[in-house]
Amino acid sequence: MESTYYELFDSNIGPENTNLYKGTVYTSKYRSINEFTPRLYFDYIDGSILYDGQWYFRVSINYNVYDDLILMRLPMASRNVLVQPLQQQVECFRLEDRFFVHIDWEELKGFYEQLVQFEDLDLGLYRKLRKNRNDKNNKVYEYSEFNDRKPIYYLKYDGKYYNLKSYKILKQLFPQLSEVIVQGHKESRNLSKVDVAAYYSRLLQIIYKNISIHS
């Protein structure tokens, strides 16, 4: 299969995309028989990817959440081939309205969803998606199902990342804004129970607004 892949490589993707597909052919380690796959989306969809300093658009990609891999689908003459690009060269990618960046900082390594980013303050909110794997047997064959786990939220500030286990982390980092952070928490407490991302995004908006006013 490797030889066939490289023989058909240039004619299928065109010279402008050759660098992007210099990865390895990907074969899934798991058998999936339903919608509970290790991927973010069930199907591969058109997205964009920043690879080795260059943007590529309308690339058929998906994100393997369980293994933390970005995968691309390359249409061949008679079948689709999945390609795993060199992960360290993938700087970021976009799927529909969701944006992911590659982070390599101390214990944080891999792809994280960027939810909020204020470039002028180096202030941002990130989310690590996760899935659980459950092996099953239907008496015919073994297969795996993957279900969403509770994501982990991180605050980026001044070049460092902090695990957002509680809004109290924000109070520690911005003691001068403790009062407005607490007020924002009280006003958004119900939101924190149904949409954690929106809750933290709102608190960061409050922090950004108040820092900008006093700067």
Note down pLDDT in tens along the chain; length 215 residues.
443 444 444 445 554 456 777 788 888 888 888 889 999 999 999 999 999 998 888 889 999 999 999 999 987 655 678 889 999 999 999 999 999 999 999 999 999 999 999 988 899 999 999 999 999 888 888 989 999 999 999 999 999 999 999 999 999 999 999 999 999 999 999 999 999 999 999 999 999 999 876 55
- Give the sign of the dihedral formed by CA 83, CA 133, CA 142, CA 32: negative
Q: Where are the domains of the chain?
A: 2-164
Taking the C-alpha atoms of residue 49 and residue 72, their distance in angstroms, rounded to an integer, is 10
Q: Are 149 and 132 in contact (CB under 8 A)?
A: yes
Residue keyed to tokens 């303050």: 121
**Element counts in the chain: helices (H) and strands (E):** 5, 13
Element (H, E) at 26: none
Q: Tell me the β-bridge partners of 134.
A: 145
